[in-house]
Amino acid sequence: MITVTENALNFIRHSAESGAIEAEMGLRVAIKEAGDGGYDYGIGFDEEREKDLEFDFDGVKIFINEELREYLEDATLDYVELEDGSMSLIVLNPNDPTYIPPTKKKKQ
């Protein structure tokens, strides 16, 4: 199933605390098909729903609709610095038809 990096867990905890998110809420990871045949991801705090799978990562709850399980198999949720210098939660998903594995920036 999906894994969550320590950077992502720290960001999620901080976001939940600073946003006064209720303890029973968790982070939902959702997918919809994009126009290019790949996946668009929705990530945000939400309540658990009837057909959700709940995963606990060191006290951080992640909700995924059971119908999306196979689409997120072996995916990783990470919190990274983007090319423009901003920080963002991203899903690295080898099941996405348009997925290109990240490369490390070379130091200059």
Q: Which two tokens stand for residue 82?
A: 């983007």
- Give the CATH number, domain containing residue 47: 2.60.300.12
Flag whether 17 is in a domain.
Answer: yes
pLDDT at 91: 95
The answer to whether residue 59 sits within a structural domain is yes
Domain interval for residue 47: 3-92
**Residue 99 placed within a domain:** no
Residue 100 within a domain: no
Residue 97 within a domain: no
pLDDT per residue as tens digits for the range 8-35: 999 999 999 888 888 889 999 999 999 8
Give tens-digit pLDDT for 61-106: 999 999 999 999 999 999 998 888 889 999 999 999 999 887 766 5
- Cα separation, 38 vs 11, in Å, equals 26
Look at the chain and report how many structural domains it folds into: 1
pLDDT the model gives residue 108? 56
